[in-house]
Amino acid sequence: MSEFDYDLFVIGAGSGGVRAARTAAATGARVAVAEDRYLGGTCVNVGCVPKKLYSYAAHFHDAFEDSTGFGWSFSEAPRFDWAALRDNKIEEIKRLNGIYGRLLDNAGVTLLNARAKILDAHRVQAGDQTISAEKILVATGGWPWVPDFPGNEYVLDSNQIFDLDHFPKRFLALGGGYISVEFASIFNGLGSEAHLVYRGELFLRGFDREVREFTRDEMQKKGVNLHFETNIESIEKVEGGLRVSLTNGETLEVDAVLAATGRKPHLAGLGLDDMDIELNPNGTLRVNERYETSIPSILALGDVTGGPELTPVALAEAMHMVQHHFGDATPRPLNYDNIATAVFCHPNIGTVGLSEEEARERFEQVRIYTADFRAMKHTLSGSEERCLMKLVVDDASDRVVGAHMVGEEAGEVIQGIAIAVRAGLTKTDFDATVGIHPTGAEEFVTMRSITRR
């Protein structure tokens, strides 16, 4: 009989923690999960899922306008009801929370509704219980970080933005990452006067430069007010809203400010400060390829380890971790190259592989193919929205090392292209693929002219 209460004790019932718990339990391991907030973690509750639902809602604004060119007319202007969207979202999240609970229950995993604290290498405190486990997994994800400036108590973080009592007719997003760009687009689409403030000269640092510039231009065309190379100096509550003073001397008056300035690992109160666990320079937990911290019985995965902050990455890490510790064979290390991602701004961004800038640093010579066009849909809609598609090719091997898109349903399109990039297919393979006509996606297999080398 084991000397421990459980073989695996998971702290955090987000995407990675739940997948790890269920997969480990399927091997016969005795597993418990502690969660003090909500099942499904950031993605389900205050991240990917509600964000995408709000993005869908915001797209209807353009859809109503576009439809007139196709013969549709309305007896009165469409009216947006923020409370209906918010409350319907809440009900959908409750449904998903229930699904996660049933998944754990059906897998035979014990769920403890408590914030766990690690006492030592094999013991945790969960509520009023002290529990022992052969291995402890930290999968608590990230938590929003708000910068320090006068009046920062008036800002909202990305956990709070979904459930506002009243719709902000004037909205400001602070930051230059995914969340800021997405919510500036979302509230603009829902009818707000939307502003984005970013201290850098262009948002979405790390993405392909051409993609960033194209997205900037398209967002501006849709009415998002972009304020680059400036920051918030202070916020003052005034009659009717918030007065935001920027470091460039500009003053804006808005109803809500979202601080989308990054997330930090959610490690507060876990007891790790009292243990000699090695950290990465950015404060995340350092792990090896087996997801072991410097105390081997304490494991970690997902956002707390400093890797790509993406739900599918946490899911993949969870399955790899279980194979390492509870499987019959040792898996290869997880390959973090060519992980596709999407930004649900308007229009969407989808990308996989290397940016043009990264490819030029890595390869002696590259070929760049681009298509910048107005989608067939907009020949009748009257919209001036344009689409960008781009392939980055290593000239020596002919291998497609990067694929990028800005346009409608870019994430859906790039998911398929990601398989080809991951498989190492060449530009010749792309050229030999017969396209589906008429679609925008066929541009990825019909680009023949080199844009630049």
Q: How far apart, in whole angstroms, are the C-alpha atoms of residue 204 and residue 195?
A: 16
Element (H, E) at 450: none
Q: How far apart, in whole angstroms, are the C-alpha atoms of residue 155 and residue 256?
A: 7
Burial of 169 (C-beta count, 10 Å sphere; 0-12/13-18/19+): middle
**End-to-end Cα, the chain, rounded Å:** 66
Contact 22, 107 (CB under 8 A): yes
Helix (H, G, I), strand (E, B) or coil at 9: strand
Helix (H, G, I), strand (E, B) or coil at 108: coil
Q: Residue 91 has which token pair?
A: 């009900």
What secondary structure letter does DSSP report for 6? E
Measured over the CA atoms of residue 336, residue 13, residue 104 and residue 3, the dihedral's sign is positive
Considering the candidates 59, 324, 378, 437, report the single residue annotated as catalytic. Answer: 437
Contact 282, 307 (CB under 8 A): no
Q: For this structure, is 437 an active site residue?
A: yes
Element (H, E) at 392: strand 387-394
Q: How far apart, in whole angstroms, are the C-alpha atoms of residue 22 and residue 31?
A: 8
Tell me how many helices (H) and strands (E) the chain has: 11, 21
Nearest Cα residue to 253 out of 203, 193, 179: 193
Q: How far apart, in whole angstroms, are the C-alpha atoms of residue 128 and residue 284?
A: 28
Measured over the CA atoms of residue 227, residue 229, residue 232 and residue 238, the dihedral's sign is negative
Contacts with 207 (C-beta within 8 Å, 6 or more apart), sequence order: 343, 349, 351, 355
**Residue positions annotated with a catalytic role:** 437
